[in-house]
């Protein structure tokens, strides 16, 4: 009974988050009296009353140095190369000076993970503005202490699954689905590439609200849906009814940039390289590799003052990402329209912040040096200009799949090596 009452009285409703309920231990982005313009990462300690919260601030390195606290060590690149490469912000909890803020000062939720979690479990968080990492905290005497991996909890422990936890895992599941779609080697026809997942209403409200604020198009429509039902006596029937749908469409540069603050910089970009098997080395992206990406800039919508009727239709052929939500059954459909390009495309370099890419092999006229690179997953162009991928190698025979075709074509080993050399060189 005491535990139940504790949970009830520790429930913290936040107006800025569509009245979402948070608990002690959740992380927020909130304005403080010291800085009324830039939200600071905060840890909820407890609710004082119906209006105020006691929080502990998590400060950036620059804010720590401005307070004349002990300077924390820099992140070792050799140990945490992925986290450093993602350019994520490190924060430090200062436990000696909790402050009281009004709930109206809360601007958003935050995800604060131990650096080991981002290095191992969530390696692709670059560009996600709500994601931070932690290694150290300052105790009540302002002494710098290490945050141990197993002692850090990114979400509240008052409840089994807090609001911030549910939002994070929905975002993570969406990222996996979208990456799987865009890492596909096949090029699908427009509007035919679609995935369906379950999505709670609160997660959909969070996503839709933030995407629309960032310039995405919101479309309400209805459609007649026929469902097949099985009854308790094993009889079968069908029922047709009209159901409402909400579509959020990303088809312009502004909305794509906003979406990448939620899902990361690789949102809308995939690569066709074969992923490594267990125990194999990571597969790096090289000059001449084939990538899939949603080229919203080619739609020429960036300078349009108004959203035209064509962009509000349910089915369009323009480049973009559609999120279609059915509130009745809590299902979310993701439809992606993309095109292929080369990894050396300047647009891709700008999106990912790259400078140059290495060649997959040393350029040489000696075909024997290129033969070693003819392995399953290798891409090159045929003499007809079509993209082909190596499906298997059997002695001197190389079996390739031409794009948009399931039929295998057999080439000689040195013939395939020559095509790869010409393609990359």
pLDDT of residue 363: 43
Of 108, 143, 160, the residue at which a domain comes to its end is 160
Q: Note whether 177 and 320 are same-domain residues.
A: yes
- CATH number of the domain residue 33 falls in: 2.30.30
Report DSSP state, residue 151.
G
Q: Note whether 7 and 138 are same-domain residues.
A: yes
- Is 252 a domain residue? yes
pLDDT of residue 360: 61
- Is 354 a domain residue? no
74-95 residue pLDDT tens: 999 888 988 998 999 999 999 9
Under 8 Å CB-to-CB from 183, ≥6 apart: which residues? 270, 271, 272, 275, 292
Average pLDDT over residues 316-335: 93
pLDDT of residue 200: 95
Report how far apart, in Å, the C-alpha atoms of 293 and of each of 94, 183, 261, 340, 354 are.
42, 10, 17, 6, 16
- Spatial distance between the Cα atoms of 110 and 18, rounded to a whole number of angstroms: 15
Q: Are strands 131-138 and 89-94 parallel, antiparallel or unpaired?
A: parallel
- Is 359 a domain residue? no
Collapsing DSSP to helix, strand or coil, 30 comes out as strand
pLDDT of residue 346: 87
pLDDT of residue 340: 85
Domain total for the chain? Answer: 3
Q: Note whether 402 and 261 are same-domain residues.
A: no
Is the confidence at residue 395, as pLDDT, over 90? no
Average pLDDT over residues 320-334: 95
Q: Note whether 49 and 79 are same-domain residues.
A: yes
Is 133:112 a contact under the CB 8 Å cutoff? Answer: yes
Is 211:203 a contact under the CB 8 Å cutoff? Answer: no
Is the confidence at residue 392, as pLDDT, over 50? yes
Is the confidence at residue 44, as pLDDT, over 80? yes
Q: Are strands 52-60 and 27-32 parallel, antiparallel or unpaired?
A: unpaired
- Spatial distance between the Cα atoms of 16 and 2, rounded to a whole number of angstroms: 30
Average pLDDT over residues 401-407: 78
Of 143, 160, 177, the residue at which a domain comes to its end is 160
* pLDDT: which is higher, 361 or 177: 177
Q: Note whether 175 and 77 are same-domain residues.
A: no
Q: Note whether 154 and 178 are same-domain residues.
A: no
Give the domain extent around 381: 367-424
19-29 residue pLDDT tens: 899 999 999 99
- Is 358 a domain residue? no
Is the confidence at residue 417, as pLDDT, over 60? yes
pLDDT of residue 4: 42
- Is 265 a domain residue? yes
Average pLDDT over residues 116-123: 91
Of 115, 133, 160, the residue at which a domain comes to its end is 160
Is 357:342 a contact under the CB 8 Å cutoff? Answer: no
Q: Note whether 247 and 306 are same-domain residues.
A: yes
DSSP run (H or E) holding 366? none
Is the confidence at residue 359, as pLDDT, over 80? no
pLDDT of residue 270: 92
Is the confidence at residue 376, as pLDDT, over 50? yes
- Is 306 a domain residue? yes
Evaluated on CA atoms 179, 180, 184, 188, the torsion sign reads negative
Collapsing DSSP to helix, strand or coil, 399 comes out as strand
| Interaxial angle between packed helices 163-182 and 201-213, expressed in degrees from 0 to 180 and rounded to the nearest 10 | 70
Is the confidence at residue 368, as pLDDT, over 50? yes
| Interaxial angle between packed helices 201-213 and 253-263, expressed in degrees from 0 to 180 and rounded to the nearest 10 | 140
pLDDT of residue 333: 95
- Is 361 a domain residue? no
- Spatial distance between the Cα atoms of 191 and 317, rounded to a whole number of angstroms: 7
Q: Note whether 375 and 322 are same-domain residues.
A: no
Is the confidence at residue 196, as pLDDT, over 50? yes
291-325 residue pLDDT tens: 899 999 999 898 887 788 888 888 888 899 999 99
- Is 356 a domain residue? no
Q: How confident is the model at residue 178 (pLDDT cuts 50, 70, 90)?
A: very high
Q: What number of CA atoms fall less than 13 Å from residue 63's CA on the CB side?
A: 17
Q: Note whether 173 and 137 are same-domain residues.
A: no
Under 8 Å CB-to-CB from 60, ≥6 apart: which residues? 89, 90, 91, 92
Average pLDDT over residues 412-417: 88
pLDDT of residue 88: 94
Is the confidence at residue 403, as pLDDT, over 80? no
Q: Note whether 141 and 216 are same-domain residues.
A: no
The overall average pLDDT reported for the chain is 87
Q: Note whether 38 and 71 are same-domain residues.
A: yes
Residues 89-99 as b/e (b if ≥16 CB within 10 A, e otherwise) read ebbbbbbeeeb
343-357 residue pLDDT tens: 888 888 888 888 777
Lowest mean pLDDT across 34-38, 69-73, 253-257, 359-363: 359-363
Q: Note whether 117 and 203 are same-domain residues.
A: no
Burial class (CB in 10 A: 0-12, 13-18, 19+), 281: exposed
Is the confidence at residue 364, as pLDDT, over 60? no
Residues 122-154 as b/e (b if ≥16 CB within 10 A, e otherwise) read bebbbbbebbbbbbbbbeeeeeeeebeeeebeb
Average pLDDT over residues 209-224: 93
Lowest mean pLDDT across 100-114, 151-165, 170-184, 348-362: 348-362
């Amino acid at each position: 009974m005491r535990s139940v009452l504790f949970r009830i009285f520790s429930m913290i409703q936040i107006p800025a988050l569509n009245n979402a309920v948070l608990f002690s231990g959740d992380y927020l982005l909130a304005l403080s009296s010291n800085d009324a313009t830039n939200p600071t990462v905060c840890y909820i300690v407890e609710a004082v009353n119906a209006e105020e919260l006691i929080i502990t601030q998590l400060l950036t390195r620059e804010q720590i140095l401005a307070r004349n606290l002990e300077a924390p060590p820099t992140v070792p690149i050799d140990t945490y190369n992925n986290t450093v490469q993602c350019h994520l912000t490190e924060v430090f909890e200062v436990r000696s000076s909790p402050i009281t803020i009004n709930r109206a000062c809360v601007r958003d939720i935050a995800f604060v993970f131990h650096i080991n979690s981002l290095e191992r479990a969530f390696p692709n968080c670059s560009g996600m503005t709500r994601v931070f990492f932690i290694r150290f905290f300052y105790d009540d005497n302002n002494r710098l202490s290490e945050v141990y991996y197993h002692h850090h909890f990114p979400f509240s422990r008052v409840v089994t699954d807090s609001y911030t936890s549910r939002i994070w895992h929905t975002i993570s599941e969406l990222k996996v689905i979208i990456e799987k779609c865009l890492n596909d080697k096949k090029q699908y026809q427009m509007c035919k590439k679609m995935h369906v997942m379950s999505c709670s209403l609160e997660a959909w409200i969070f996503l839709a609200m933030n995407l629309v604020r960032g310039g995405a198009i919101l479309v309400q429509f209805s459609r007649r849906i026929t469902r097949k039902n099985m009854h308790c006596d094993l009889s079968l029937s069908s029922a047709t009814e009209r159901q409402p749908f909400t579509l959020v469409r990303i088809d312009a540069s502004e909305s794509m940039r906003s979406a990448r603050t939620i899902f990361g910089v690789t949102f809308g970009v995939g690569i066709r390289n074969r992923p490594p098997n267990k125990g194999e080395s990571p597969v790096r992206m090289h000059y001449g590799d084939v990538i899939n990406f949603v080229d919203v800039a080619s739609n020429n919508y960036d300078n349009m003052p108004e959203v035209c009727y064509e962009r509000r239709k349910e089915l369009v052929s323009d480049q973009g990402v559609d999120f279609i939500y059915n509130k009745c059954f809590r299902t979310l459909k993701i439809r992606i329209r993309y095109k292929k390009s080369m990894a050396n495309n300047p647009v891709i370099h700008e999106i990912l912040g790259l400078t140059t890419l290495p060649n997959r092999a040393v350029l040489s006229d000696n075909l024997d040096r290129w033969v070693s690179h003819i392995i399953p997953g290798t891409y090159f162009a045929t003499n007809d200009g079509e993209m082909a991928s190596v499906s298997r190698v059997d002695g001197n025979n190389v079996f390739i799949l031409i794009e948009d075709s399931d039929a295998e074509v057999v080439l000689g080993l040195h013939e395939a090596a020559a095509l790869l050399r010409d393609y990359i060189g």
